[in-house]
Structure 1
Amino acid sequence: MATIAFLGLGNMGYPMAGHLANSGHQLRVFNRTHNKAQRWAEEFPGTACTTPATTTHNADAVILCVGRDADVRELLNDQLLAQLQPGTLLIDHTTTSARLAEELAARCAEQGLRFADVPVSGGQQGAINGQLSLMAGCAAADYDDIVRITAPYTRLIERLGNPGCGQKAKMVNQICVAGLIQALAEGLQFARNAGLDAEQVMKVIGQGAASSWQLQNRHQTMLNGEFDHGFAVDWMRKDLQICLQEALHNGSSLPVTALVDQFYGELQQQGAGKLDTSALLLRLPKSSR
């Protein structure tokens, strides 16, 4: 068992830290809204701290699950890194740019620290159920420790390469998901406008080549007009911007991703940024016939 500092108790981090605490690790948690950390400490065995420095003091591992590149930079500042013991393992579950991961890995190596970018996939429900897929960018020597520490909330984990590769793999995930959601929205719209029972159609094609996690788990809520769950448009837009920036860097062409990113931008302008990503259906007109 390890002493673990967990920074960031959002929709994903809150249950993930809970799984670690319930598995026997000694947990200290920090959240910018301290009353959320206090609420977590009332629900799980662990300590709510008021600053990142007190949370990470003498920790064996530091885990982050926050929102953006800027949040990671703010937490892992030079002062905090300097206080960590040599050999401390830093695991960043935040979806960030690959360049940030590479930069942090270099900074940590200079101070004898170990850094890994390990973004996750599986959504809030996956975090609650301890069934997340993890994409690790890390030194080969650190992988076994990452597997052991993250096991309480992991369904699958793979090392994709050195630091930065985990984030690039997460970009692949978001590129694929964006296209799937748009295709599902268009399929549902077409079914309804064609006078078909869209739910019946989904039942049939969900057993064939068109099936996907999005179809299986989102078509009914989309048909019901329920968009108040899951991963928000604002966060997906942030992730797709990261994908498009990386594509410019490595020479990839992402025309569908760029188009879906534009669609999400339109939803944000309509005030729908907090809705689930499946809200793409709201952009599509119903038949006037």
Structure 2
Amino acid sequence: MARVAFLGLGVMGGPMAGHLADDGHAVTVYNRTASKASDWVAAHGGTSGDTPRAASEGAEIVLACVGNDADLRAVCLGEDGAFAGMGDGTLFVDHTTVSAEVTRELAEAAAARGIGYVDAPVSGGQAGAENGQLVIMCGGAEADYARAEPVMAAYAKLSRRMGDVGAGQLTKMVNQICIAGLLQGLSEGLAFAQKAGLDGAAVVDVIQGGAAGSWQMVNRHKTMLAGEFDHGFAVNWMRKDLAICLAEAENMGVPLPGTALIDQFYKDVQIMGGGRWDTSSLIARLAAFG
């Protein structure tokens, strides 16, 4: 068992840190809203720190799951940042979905202090975090990943090293590109089925076992048909992720015309007031905009 710190106790980080505690790790937590850290400690034990630095002092491995590039920089850098509290030979594991640029920047800052760095974005959403069934795509040195993997196993059904630092974030970009396309196709298919007078649920029962089947189809078709979007991964966060994908693709000279279009469709959903709706709400956009 390890002495670990976990920074960020949102809908993903809170359950992930809880699984670490359940596995017997000595966990110290930090959250920008201190009351969340107090509530977590009351529920799971362990301790909390007033700053990322305070939470990270004495930890062998520090893990983070925050919002975006700026949030990650804020918890890592500066006098009160995690790196300032971490010793030589410790390891930082980032579960946030951020740009490959900030990942490489922070990995260099960590290396200058003798700290290992693994970028480890996750897929599986809130349910995956709560059930300990996340998929984790990682970038970093082989030795650093080998140290991180048994700790991450507390909340992962699968983790894999994809290459050096940044490879995890690049793999997560592929994941988000594919999800966007799948959800747009599923939205159009279900809308077509309804307009044709078919029973949408019956249609899915027939086709989900064939070539059209996907996790999104199996797990989201009923709520999509019912117009229920108060669960899962929010549109606001998906747009943040797609902006990262599109910027990286532009840097690489890789065209993503479909992804760029679907990103604009998600913008329409935001205009409709659905920024906090689940990403499957693309079907609501079809009803509103055609």
For the aligned pair, the TM-score class normalised by the smaller chain equals over 0.9
Out of 228, 252, 255, the residue aligned to residue 226 of structure 1 is 228
SS of aligned partner of 1:42: helix
Using the TM superposition, give the Cα deviation of residue 15 of structure 1 relative to its aligned residue in structure 2, in angstroms.
0.5
Counterpart of 2:176? Answer: 174
CA distance in 2, matches of 1:264, 1:285: 14
Counterpart of 1:22? Answer: 22
Counterpart of 2:149? Answer: 147
Counterpart of 2:32? Answer: 32
Does the 8 Å contact 2:230/2:278 carry over to 1? Answer: yes
Does the 8 Å contact 2:53/2:86 carry over to 1? Answer: no
Out of 154, 159, 162, the residue aligned to residue 160 of structure 1 is 162
> Pairwise mapping of residues 1-289 of structure 1 onto structure 2 (< 5 A)?
1-79=1-79, 80=81, 81-285=83-287
CA distance in 2, matches of 1:280, 1:49: 40
Using the TM superposition, give the Cα deviation of residue 185 of structure 1 relative to its aligned residue in structure 2, in angstroms.
0.4
Does the 8 Å contact 2:30/2:50 carry over to 1? Answer: yes
**Cα deviation per residue 1:231-257 (whole Å; 9 max; x = unaligned)?**
000000000000000000111111110
CA distance in 2, matches of 1:168, 1:184: 25
Q: For 2:43, give the aligned amino acid.
A: E
CA distance in 2, matches of 1:119, 1:250: 21
CA distance in 2, matches of 1:30, 1:230: 24
Using the TM superposition, give the Cα deviation of residue 37 of structure 1 relative to its aligned residue in structure 2, in angstroms.
1.1
**Cα deviation per residue 1:4-48 (whole Å; 9 max; x = unaligned)?**
110000111011000001111000111111111111111112112
SS of aligned partner of 2:261: helix
Q: For 1:165, give the aligned amino acid.
A: A
CA distance in 2, matches of 1:161, 1:170: 13
CA distance in 1, matches of 2:51, 2:75: 10
Q: Which moved more, 1:183-192 or 1:262-271?
A: 262-271
RMSD: 1.4
CA distance in 2, matches of 1:109, 1:50: 25
**Cα deviation per residue 1:120-148 (whole Å; 9 max; x = unaligned)?**
01111111111111000011111211111
**Cα deviation per residue 1:226-283 (whole Å; 9 max; x = unaligned)?**
1000000000000000000000011111111001100011111222101110110111
Q: Which moved more, 1:138-147 or 1:226-235?
A: 138-147
Does the 8 Å contact 1:222/1:281 carry over to 2? Answer: yes
Using the TM superposition, give the Cα deviation of residue 225 of structure 1 relative to its aligned residue in structure 2, in angstroms.
1.2
SS of aligned partner of 2:98: coil
Does the 8 Å contact 1:22/1:45 carry over to 2? Answer: no
* Gapped regions of structure 2 (runs ≥ 5): none
Q: Which moved more, 1:275-284 or 1:74-83?
A: 74-83
Does the 8 Å contact 1:87/1:114 carry over to 2? Answer: yes
* Gapped regions of structure 1 (runs ≥ 5): none
Does the 8 Å contact 2:53/2:84 carry over to 1? Answer: no
Runs (4 or more) in structure 1 with deviation over 6 Å come to none
CA distance in 2, matches of 1:270, 1:122: 26
Percent of aligned positions that are identical: 54
CA distance in 2, matches of 1:232, 1:90: 27
Using the TM superposition, give the Cα deviation of residue 78 of structure 1 relative to its aligned residue in structure 2, in angstroms.
3.7
CA distance in 1, matches of 2:31, 2:118: 21
Does the 8 Å contact 1:179/1:256 carry over to 2? Answer: yes
Does the 8 Å contact 1:68/1:95 carry over to 2? Answer: yes
Does the 8 Å contact 2:139/2:164 carry over to 1? Answer: yes
CA distance in 2, matches of 1:176, 1:108: 32
SS of aligned partner of 1:284: helix
